[in-house]
Amino acid sequence: MKRIKIIPVKVECHSGHKADEYPTCFYLNDKRIDIRQIVDRWYQSDQHPDFPAADYFKVLTNQNQQFLLKHEWKHNRWLLIVPDEPLYIRFSYN
């Protein structure tokens, strides 16, 4: 079974039609990490009390690393989901 680490992070967001619409950067160990692209996103409903409603964002950084961010609505907190194995993937652009 794969283990994951859940790390609270500070996130800056774009706010358009609603607040915190999508992340634009986050801070890890006091280092700012800019997000180049939202690769994927999905919603977790609040049907189970152990899993509050949340938005998930798979993001690509300016350093070509991929991370998974979770925004829990109820507590308005952002979490970085880190598996034991690296999640980031190098992309090449022509």
Total structural domains in the chain?
Answer: 1
DSSP 2-31: --EEEEE-EEEEE-SSSTT-EEEEEEETTE
CA-CA-CA-CA dihedral for 72, 73, 78, 82, to nearest 10? 20
Q: What is the pLDDT along the chain (94 residues), one digit of tens a residue?
A: 568 899 999 999 998 888 778 999 999 999 999 999 999 999 998 877 777 899 999 999 999 999 999 999 888 999 999 887 655 545 445 4
Residue with tokens 């996130």: 11
Q: Is residue 65 part of a domain?
A: yes
Q: Is residue 78 part of a domain?
A: yes
pLDDT value for 52: 83
Q: How distant is the alpha carbon of residue 46 from its chain centre?
A: 18
Residues of the domain holding 56: 4-83
How far is it, in rounded angstroms, from Cα 69 to Cα 83?
A: 12
pLDDT value for 94: 45
pLDDT value for 2: 66
Q: Is residue 13 part of a domain?
A: yes
